[in-house]
Amino acid sequence: MSTAVANPAATNTTAPPNALHVHISRFLRAPRERVFAAWTSADQMKQWMGPANFTCLETESDLRVGGQYRVVMRGTPAPRNGEAPQEITSTVTGEYLEVRPPELVRYNWNPTWAPGELSVVTLRLHEENGGTRLELVHEGFATVESANGHNVGWNGVLDKFATFIER
């Protein structure tokens, strides 16, 4: 399940009524502890982080409240407005705001491709039917286009993550 919405009042009571957000829910055939470790460990992140057509080049993760993370990715995003595809290098940095292993991690998201757009990602993990239900909420986008782009990006990331975690 995946949505990018402009009025989440009925689906997300923690966001302001007019906030833009992405909500994705995935079931993973892996224990919650493994999912949490793979999401937060720099060594493991390097193996899966990045949307479709991107490779993760560098990762750093100081997993504690106030700790910093950094991800550098290189790839070719889908062309927009009739432009030719072009390979780019992108970086995301941020700070861990809340860390509760193995159930929750919340951090701000500061991408180089959207300067000044500081948003927040919350990842909740629930044990379910011998696996893990991953709930990702990314909120605080400046535009509908940014929310929609991140919805596509996160779905690509989670496809790669599922392949990595379920192997």
| Residues 110/58/161/148 CA torsion (nearest 10 deg) | 30
How many domains does one find in the chain? 1
Range of the domain at 36: 15-79+86-107+117-165
Nearest to 22 by CA among 158, 113, 132, 164: 158
Assign residue 135 the CATH number of its domain: 3.30.530.20
Domain for residue 6, yes or no? no
Mean pLDDT of the chain: 90
**For the residues 125-153, what does the mean pLDDT come to?**
96
Q: Kindly state whether residue 8 falls inside one of the protein's structural domains.
A: no
CA–CA distance, 101 with 160 (Å, rounded to integer): 22
**Cβ atoms of residues 161 and 30 within 8 Å:** no
Asked, for residue 156, whether it belongs to a domain, the answer is yes
pLDDT per position as a tens digit, 44-76: 999 999 999 999 999 999 999 999 999 999 999
Mean pLDDT score, 7-33 = 69
Residue 129 counted as domain residue: yes
132 assigned to some structural domain: yes
Average pLDDT over residues 119-136: 98
Element (H, E) at 155: helix 144-165
Closest of 137, 135, 123 to residue 21, by C-alpha: 137
In a domain, 41, yes or no: yes
Assigned domain for 71 exists:
yes
Looking at residue 89, its pLDDT comes to 97
